[in-house]
């Protein structure tokens, strides 16, 4: 049998004087839960961003634009421009060269000018928010009708005007986004690629346009 020990002489039975450690432990536990909650929220946002960005990734050749559970690139861009004041003057199509966003030149520029209007800048700013998610190469093309531009020191022909308008749009988009300059090309085609006849006002209006081509190949 063991020898009885007085409770006052037992080291095991000494009064625990560091009770603060329990409060400290509770605090650490609460902080851990708080950071786990923050991490779970951040992870959700990352997954959400990845989900959106995934829908804009280049599609393999021959792959249809529509994918189950995701909006196509065409639909994403269409939704973006439909909610702007330029919706009626913008057309989005899927072609062999990529997704083509066609903006009416009348909505972007004054006649015989390459300076973007205030409305064009506002709407391009919104369009740029979509473009910055795209890793795809982008080409911006300027097109005119067959009516010669008034000869001046600035524009000597429709070739100059179409190229200058494409450059103006490209400069604005590069400034408004983090797009790399190497991913953006510009071209001016004057009246060599008409969409309609140049024999009518409506046809000439269709031909005066800016096209942003998102390469999906």
Q: What is the CATH number of the domain that holds 141?
A: 3.30.1330.60
Instruction: Judge whether residue 162 has pLDDT over 90.
Output: yes
Query: Do the domain assignments include residue 59?
Result: no
Query: Residue for token digits 């923050």?
Result: 38
Q: In angstroms, rounded to a whole number, what is the distance separating the alpha carbons of residues 208 and 111?
A: 10
Same domain for 82 and 178: yes
- pLDDT (average), residues 1-27: 65
pLDDT at 166: 95
42 and 124 both lie in a single domain: no
Give residue-wise pLDDT tens across range 163-200: 999 999 999 988 877 676 678 889 999 999 999 999 99
Is residue 128 scored above 70 in pLDDT?
Answer: yes
pTM of the predicted structure, to 2 decimals: 0.62
Sign for the pseudo-dihedral over CA of 111, 113, 114, 117: negative
Shared-domain flag, residues 154 and 203:
yes
109 lies in the same domain as 195: yes
- For residues 146 and 195, the answer to whether their CB atoms sit within 8 Å is no
| Residues 167, 90 within the same domain | yes
Structural domains counted in the chain: 2
Tokens of 32: 């851990």
Say which residue, 80 or 89, is predicted with more confidence: 89
- Residue 49, pLDDT above cutoff 60: no
**Is residue 64 domain-resident?**
no
pLDDT at 87 over 60: no
d(CA 131, CA 101): 11
175: containing domain: 73-214
Out of 35-49, 76-90, 107-121, the most confident range is: 107-121
Whether 67 is covered by a domain: the verdict is no
Residues 42 and 89 in one domain: no
Count the neighbouring beta carbons within 10 Å of the beta carbon of residue 87.
Answer: 14
pLDDT above 80: residue 31:
yes
In a domain, 63, yes or no: no
Cα separation, 93 vs 136, in Å, equals: 16
pLDDT tens column, 51-73: 544 544 444 443 433 343 334 55
CA atoms of 13 and 8, how far apart (whole Å): 7
Residues 102, 206 within the same domain: yes
Q: What is the mean pLDDT of the chain?
A: 76
Residue partners of 78: CB distance under 8 A and separation at least 6: 92
At 93 the three-state DSSP class reads: strand
Check residue 88 and give its pLDDT: 63
For residue 214, give every residue at least 6 positions away whose Cβ sits within 8 Å of its Cβ, in sequence order, or none: 73, 77, 98, 99, 100, 101, 131, 134, 136, 138
- Is residue 61 domain-resident? no
């Amino acid at each position: 049998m063991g020898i009885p020990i007085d409770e006052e002489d037992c080291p095991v039975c000494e009064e625990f004087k560091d009770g603060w450690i329990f409060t400290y432990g509770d605090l650490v536990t609460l902080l851990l839960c708080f950071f786990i909650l923050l991490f779970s929220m951040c992870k959700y946002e990352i997954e959400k961003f990845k989900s959106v960005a995934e829908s804009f990734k280049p599609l393999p050749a021959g792959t249809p634009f529509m994918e189950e559970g995701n909006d196509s690139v065409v639909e994403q861009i269409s939704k973006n421009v439909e909610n702007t004041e330029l919706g009626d003057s913008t057309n989005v199509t899927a072609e062999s060269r990529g997704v083509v966003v066609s903006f009416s030149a009348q909505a972007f520029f004054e006649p015989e000018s390459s300076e973007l209007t205030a409305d064009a800048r506002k709407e391009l700013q919104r369009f740029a928010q979509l473009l910055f998610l795209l890793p795809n190469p982008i080409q911006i093309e300027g097109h005119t009708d067959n009516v010669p531009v008034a000869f001046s020191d600035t524009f000597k022909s429709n070739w100059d005007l179409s190229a200058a308008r494409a450059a103006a749009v490209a400069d604005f988009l590069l400034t408004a986004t983090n797009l790399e300059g190497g991913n953006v090309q510009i071209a001016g085609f004057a009246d060599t690629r008409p969409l309609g006849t140049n024999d009518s006002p409506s046809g000439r209006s269709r031909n005066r346009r800016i096209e942003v081509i998102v390469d999906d190949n």
